[in-house]
Structure formats: C-alpha cells, structure tokens
Amino acid sequence: MCGRYVSARKRQELLEEFTVQLDGTGEELAADYNVAPTKKVYAVLTRPAEPAAGEGGERAAEPVRQLRVLKWGLVPSWAKDPSVGSRMINARVETVAEKPSFRRAFAQRRCLLPADGYYEWYKTDKKNKQPYYLHPANGDVMAMAGLYEFWKDPGRAEDDPLKWLVTCTVITTTAEDGLGHIHDRMPVLIGRDRWDEWLDPRIKDKDELHALLAAGPPRGLAGRLVSTDVNSVRNNGPRLIEPEGAEEVLF
C-alpha cells in the first residue's frame, strides 16, 4: 500500500510543473514531509469548464486542467458516512475498474497526486520495520495515479460551503523489480507523456485506461533508509527524509 508520502513543493511550482490552466485550490498547503490519510493534499485533475457563449449560443467548453485541494481517503458518492474514506486510501490496479467504491471514478474522475517521494516499510524481522524513502533520483516531481470523488452531505443546507466533500485515493500496483524487496506494492506512477490521456475525462474505455497504468513508471527511482520518526504522523519536517544509510537507484 501507499500510506505516507512527501509533498513539499509550493502551489506555484505545481501550477507551472503540470501546466495547470485553472488554480482552484483557494489555499496554499504547507510543505508536508509526512502526508498521511485524511490530510488535505494537492491534486491535478481535468474537468469541463463552464459553457462558453459563441455566435450560435452556448457551446460545450473544452476540459480544463486544474489544481485542487482534496482530502486523502476516497468517499464514494453513495456512502452513508464519510468516515469510510479512512479505509479507502488506496485502490488496487487489479480491481479498480470493477470494485463498486472505485469503478465510477475510474471511468470519469481520474487525477494525479503530486509527490516528491513516498515511504515504505521493510520488515527487518517479525517485530520491526525500517522505513525507506523512495523518490526520483533526479529530483523530478512524482505523479501518482489517483481517483477523486464528490460526496454530498445530506445534513447540510444547499448553500453550506461544506455541503460537498471532495476526496481522493492512490492507485497501487505490484512493485517493480528492485523495489519489491522493500515492499510488494507501490503507487502507480504516471510518466509525463501520459498525463494528458490519464486526466482526460472523455477517455472511458477500460482497456485503454489499463494500458496507461501498465506502461510502467519512469525509471530512476532511488531509495534510502530514513529515521523511524516518520512512523508517527505527529512528526514532520525535512529531517524525516535525511538518509540513515547509503542511497541507491533501485529501478
């Protein structure tokens, strides 16, 4: 699973990196070196803009790439209680197109979750685990494949700004060779050449979408041992990714 990651880039950096056309965040998130489930996170997504008026009346507008702030832990639109989101932080690539919690979002609400890197825990023995920090060796942004969903709170008034909750999940897959000895799962990483297609809500064919996910992550992922301080969500700051062992390129 992917249960912790690092998101330290500023909003403006992400707007430029992902060629975002609309800044829909409304807030600047602080650099977070211990992003955990239920936290607010940045997400890049593409949604239809408001219809634009043309000479012949209203015309359908092209989808617009946006940067949004979402809550990590997907809450399906049909959920009775939003607390289910804490159990839906990951969606397995093997079942994402069929599982009721994710299939509608997979068909039409896909996103990219920007990250500097992510953590996984290696079992050193039956009782202990050692955290690793995994990240692009060249410092590039990491784009994790995700899904997002809207949930309407039936207990709030229609004009309540908290009426709608927008949440997300990270899609995971079998770890690539070189990474599998640390953990058997990893987030699906979308290469820059596939961003447009993955974000395009007009693409709904499951085979085409699975082909995008199966293309494999960009090469050049590096990993290093880091402090067990990351185990606690109360700890944060750049010290969490400081090396406690030699760094090596794993994939």
Q: Is 120 a catalytic residue?
A: yes
Which pLDDT does position 240 carry in this prediction?
98
Q: Which of 111, 120, 149, 168 is catalytic?
A: 120
Give the whole-angstrom CA distance, residue 109 versus residue 229.
Answer: 35
CB 134 within 8 A of CB 92: no
Question: Is residue 238 exposed (0-12), middle (13-18) or buried (19+ Cβ within 10 Å)?
Answer: exposed
Q: Cα dihedral angle (230, 114, 44, 68), rounded to 10 degrees?
A: 40
Cα distance from N-terminal residue to C-terminal residue, the chain: 18
- What domains does the chain contain, in order, with CATH numbers? 5-48+60-117+140-218 (3.90.1680.10)
**HSE-up of residue 193 (Cα within 13 Å, Cβ side):** 4
pTM as predicted: 0.93
Does residue 134 sit in helix, strand or coil? Answer: strand
Q: With DSSP H G I counted as helix, E B as strand and the rest as coil, what are the percentages for the chain, rounded to 5?
A: 15, 35, 45
What is the distance of C-alpha 87 from the center of its chain?
15
Which pLDDT does position 57 carry in this prediction?
46
CB 29 within 8 A of CB 48: no
Q: Which of 2, 111, 149, 168 is catalytic?
A: 2
Which pLDDT does position 51 carry in this prediction?
56
CB 24 within 8 A of CB 156: no
CB 241 within 8 A of CB 169: no
Q: Is 27 a catalytic residue?
A: no
pLDDT tens for the chain, 251 residues long, are: 789 999 999 999 999 999 999 998 888 999 999 999 999 999 999 987 665 545 454 555 678 999 999 999 999 999 999 999 999 999 999 999 999 999 999 999 999 999 999 999 998 888 889 999 999 999 999 999 999 999 998 888 888 887 899 999 999 999 988 888 899 999 999 999 999 999 999 999 999 999 999 987 888 999 999 999 999 999 999 999 999 988 888 77
